[in-house]
Amino acid sequence: MLFQRRPRQAKNPQKDMPFGILGSLAICTILYILVAGLLTGIVPYAHLNVSDPVAVGIDATGIGRAKLLVKVGAIFGLATVMLVMLLGQSRVFFSMSRDRVLPEWAGAVHPRFRTPWISTIIVGAFVAVFAAVVPIDILGELVSIGTLLAFVIVCAGVWTLRNRRPDLPRPFKTPWVPVVPVLGIVVSLGLMAACRWAPGFD
């Protein structure tokens, strides 16, 4: 059977994942604020509306080697983000297959590496082809819109389940429902509307 072995996951994902996500968001928010403050202290903010504001700031310091270091760091950072997204999507397919929403092959676990290998290959191939044929600016906007749409669906799902299934066990419970889900939906839809490739953009 394909479901005899589970992939390697967190020990207590229902509790660990929400706290891990919220903790990562808090740390990243602080780091982004610090970086933005440093950049605007080095270069006027009007000069930072470019695709590589950190490199612009490094150039203004006159440290030539630092620019190369920043670019290398950006490449590794982008690679890390892509890897995390690919791994996350294959796990989503695994969970959907376990719930019988997708066929059984989508949840097939590799006997040695204990990962959903078929889903990983399919997701990787789709992403590679899509990235090769779609311009990078359009692709970036579409990824942002898709991510925000997922946030809207999750917020709506939290609100709906809290009303329809209040008896479900919840190791991590979203506070201030429905205020938090409603704010999440409104903010996400607003950011989607601000994207250049959102429907109705001129």
Residue 199 CA: distances (Å) to CA of 12, 137, 184, 187? 40, 16, 20, 17
Give residue 33's pLDDT.
94
Q: Is the pLDDT of residue 106 over 70?
A: yes
The more confidently predicted of residues 27 and 173 is 27
- 116 within 8 A of 93, measured Cβ to Cβ: yes
Residue 37 CA: distances (Å) to CA of 40, 124, 128? 5, 37, 36
Sign of CA dihedral 80, 84, 87, 89: negative
Q: Is the pLDDT of residue 5 over 60?
A: no
Q: Is the pLDDT of residue 126 over 60?
A: yes
Would you tell me how many other CB atoms lie within 10 Å of the CB of residue 148? 21
The more confidently predicted of residues 73 and 162 is 162
- What's this model's pTM, rounded to 2 decimal places? 0.69
% of the chain residues with pLDDT over 70: 91
CA 180 to chain CA mean position, Å: 19
Please give the torsion angle defined by the CA atoms of residues 10, 15, 18 and 20, in that order, rounded to the nearest 10 degrees. Answer: -50
Give residue 15's pLDDT.
75
Q: Token pair for residue 110? A: 């590799």
User: What phi and psi values does residue 197 have, to the nearest 5 degrees?
Assistant: -100, 20
Average pLDDT for the chain? 84
- 158 within 8 A of 177, measured Cβ to Cβ: yes
Q: Is the pLDDT of residue 3 over 70?
A: no
Give residue 201's pLDDT.
46
Q: Which residues make Cβ contacts (< 8 Å) with residue 170, sequence separation at least 6?
A: none
In this prediction, residue 142 has a pLDDT band, given cuts at 50, 70 and 90, of confident
For residues 73-96, give the mean pLDDT: 84
CA dist., res. 2 & res. 202, Å (int): 49
In this prediction, residue 48 has a pLDDT band, given cuts at 50, 70 and 90, of confident
Q: Token pair for residue 85? A: 């997204």
